[in-house]
Chain A
Amino acid sequence: MAKVMGKVREKMMEKMMWQDQMRGVYHIAIKDMKTYYLKPPAISWGMVFPLAWTLAFYLRNPGDFAELVPGLLAMTIIFSTTAAEAVVINFELRLGTLERLLLTPLSMTSVLLGKVLGGFLFGLMMTAIVAAGAILYLGLQPDIPGLALISLISLMVFSSMGALFSLSVREVFEAQTLLNLPRFLMVFLCGVVYPVSALPEGLQLFSRLLPLTYTVQGLKASFFQEQGAVLAWDLIILFLFLILFLLPAIRLLQRRFS
């Protein structure tokens, strides 16, 4: 009897600890939103920058603006999630505030997930505003569940990518510079403004190695009601990218404190 009670107590403790970890992830994300994301630099990178780019393309060819919407959303997703990720990790490592988080009962994975969730939530806000504006203004009728799924997984993928790149270097400015490379590369090669099919064959193959290709593809599928199989395939590949970014990021954080 005592053994059974002991096991029940152990299970309850485990459940409580798991809940505490999840609560911690949430509180870190909310704190980051307040201290870093809802500030002019993050908003300008996350929203104004993609809008300015889209406006430039719209002015060149106003007739096909609806076709630009998936690209605009993809740009909003990548820039908003990565806008402050470099700051929230490297800046806090330098100030010692990240170390303070690691002194709490939260695991390193939870602390990193909190940081990633902050980028995700900010990206979600920005993407929702841009998506709602575009849908209402242009009278589009996307597949809402598909749009939501592809957007949510993409937000997690690019927020994790931001965390990984940030942890690869020591300084905030290094992380910002390093992140610009994949961001701009993907904007040009992943079908945001030019269709992937219009690229030379070698670049088409290369674009298949980049996660934003699947975000744009999935967004196009949900906006233009393409076959569900395409969307499912994009979701699976993006999930693999999420693991590919998240696990090394956790490992890098552990190495910093080993």
Chain B
Amino acid sequence: MTHKSAAIIADKLTKLYGDLLAVDGISFQVDEGEIFGFLGPNGSGKTSTIRMLVGLSRPSGGRASVLGYDLPGESSQAKRYVGVVPDSSNLYDELSARENLLFMARLYSVPRKEQNSRVDRLLQDFGLYERRDDLFGTFSRGMKRALTIAAALVHEPRLLFLDEPTAGLDAAAARSLRRLISGLREKGMTVFLTTHYLTEADMLCDRIAILVQGRIVRIDTPDGLKHLIQDQSLIEFSFRGDVSALLADLQSRLEGGQAALLDSSRIRVYGGDPPRIFDAVFQSSRESGIGLESASTIRPSLEDAFLQITGLSPQVMAADKGSGKGSGVGR
């Protein structure tokens, strides 16, 4: 592991809450200027890791440094150069958009002469200038999220932590925010992004760490992750009825293949010998009386790589924090 130009270094970082091991000795490095994705289902330890890296909680073990400052001892120095967008838009409802940003600028000791110009520029960049004097409490969810990101940028940080930036947003607002996040990379900012939207991670991240039960199970580029299953067959079957109960039976018939339920009527099979897989599925369909609607081979996506690596289904991720609020994967 080289420490040259590292924005974040975590070495055997561990977090215990009583007897619960939330983060289990993870090690990784984020280089300056990259967008690093931290991907995992709810409870995998993403937020616990972020809380340690931004100085909100003390590690139970291991070491971490942010922008060369050791944590937790030098966290107040590190915080000067770090912006954080938490998973909830937590600015002040009673203050206007402009007042919220000015308040944050003052807390970060932005030079007095620059405060107004910086705040106005951010409001313009985020398309909120016309609403600058409106109270934060009156904003839509997407506007609140945009202003929360703007608030994290007011002191021009070198490193930005984004925790579920598009959770709960409608498709248009999510797309707009993703464009803004892409723009940050062009400005040379390092971004540490946690998300449970696999497509979002695929679109934005230079590298992705996959976290399951407090452990990093894989770190690679999105293409590298997809390449892991490039040589395998991927076949998706759609049925005319609910096949959830058939999964275990089907799995026992697949030699070398792995079946995953995408929703109640769709199954995806990874690996194995395609002719045998088709035979097994047709047989299962006949025996159960649930008709087969379609079958198609598909190109592997990050979702497929994720499933292969973690053994979880994309639905486990989609059922995460944003469930019921946003449209999740594929937005």
Residues on A close to B: CB < 8 A? 17, 20, 23-24, 27-28, 31, 34-35, 95-97, 99-107, 257-258
Interface size on B, residues (CB 8 A): 23
Q: How far apart are B274's CB and chain A's nearest CB, in angstroms?
A: 50
Q: How far apart are B103's CB and chain A's nearest CB, in angstroms?
A: 6
CB distance B56 to A99 under 8 Å? yes
B90 at the interface (CB under 8 A from A): yes
Q: Contacts A24-B109, A31-B92 given; 18 further ones with Cβ under 8 A?
A: A24-B106, A27-B103, A28-B107, A34-B95, A35-B94, A96-B86, A97-B90, A97-B92, A102-B55, A103-B54, A103-B55, A103-B84, A104-B108, A105-B76, A105-B108, A105-B109, A257-B56, A257-B57
Q: A23 — which chain B residues lie within 8 A by C-beta?
A: 106, 109
Closest to A16 in B: B109
Contact mask B71-103 → A, CB, 8 Å, 1/0? 000001101100010101011101100000001
CB distance B86 to A27 under 8 Å? no
Closest to B54 in A: A103
CB distance B79 to A104 under 8 Å? yes
Q: A34 — which chain B residues lie within 8 A by C-beta?
A: 94-95
- The answer to whether A99 and B90 touch (CB under 8 A), given A31-B95, A105-B80, is yes
Main secondary structure of the interface of B (DSSP, over half): loop
Q: B80 — which chain A residues lie within 8 A by C-beta?
A: 105
Main secondary structure of the interface of A (DSSP, over half): helix
CB distance B92 to A103 under 8 Å? no
- The answer to whether A104 and B104 touch (CB under 8 A), given A23-B109, A96-B88, A258-B57, is yes
Q: How far apart are B111's CB and chain A's nearest CB, in angstroms?
A: 12
Task: Tell me, in angstroms, the Cα distance from A20 to B109 when the chains sit together.
Answer: 6
Task: Tell me, in angstroms, the Cα distance from A17 to B95 when the chains sit together.
Answer: 27
Task: Tell me, in angstroms, the Cα distance from A35 to B88 when the chains sit together.
Answer: 20
Residues on B close to A: CB < 8 A? 54-58, 76-77, 79-80, 84, 86, 88, 90-92, 94-95, 103-104, 106-109
Task: Tell me, in angstroms, the Cα distance from A31 to B57 when the chains sit together.
Answer: 25
Q: B55 — which chain A residues lie within 8 A by C-beta?
A: 102-103
List 30 A-B residue pairs with CB atoms under 8 Å apart, sorted by A's residue number.
A24-B106, A24-B107, A24-B109, A27-B103, A31-B95, A31-B103, A35-B92, A35-B94, A35-B95, A95-B90, A96-B86, A96-B90, A97-B92, A99-B56, A99-B86, A99-B90, A100-B86, A102-B55, A102-B56, A103-B55, A103-B79, A103-B84, A104-B104, A104-B107, A105-B79, A105-B109, A106-B76, A257-B56, A257-B57, A258-B58
Task: Tell me, in angstroms, the Cα distance from A258 to B57 when the chains sit together.
Answer: 5
Q: How far apart are A106's CB and chain B's nearest CB, in angstroms?
A: 6
Q: How far apart are B275's CB and chain A's nearest CB, in angstroms?
A: 55
Task: Tell me, in angstroms, the Cα distance from A28 to B76 when the chains sit together.
Answer: 17
A23, A100, A101, A106 interface centre (most CB from chain B within 10 Å): A100
Task: Tell me, in angstroms, the Cα distance from A196 to B137 when the chains sit together.
Answer: 48
Task: Tell me, in angstroms, the Cα distance from A35 to B93 when the chains sit together.
Answer: 9
Q: A102 — which chain B residues lie within 8 A by C-beta?
A: 55-56
CB distance B57 to A27 under 8 Å? no
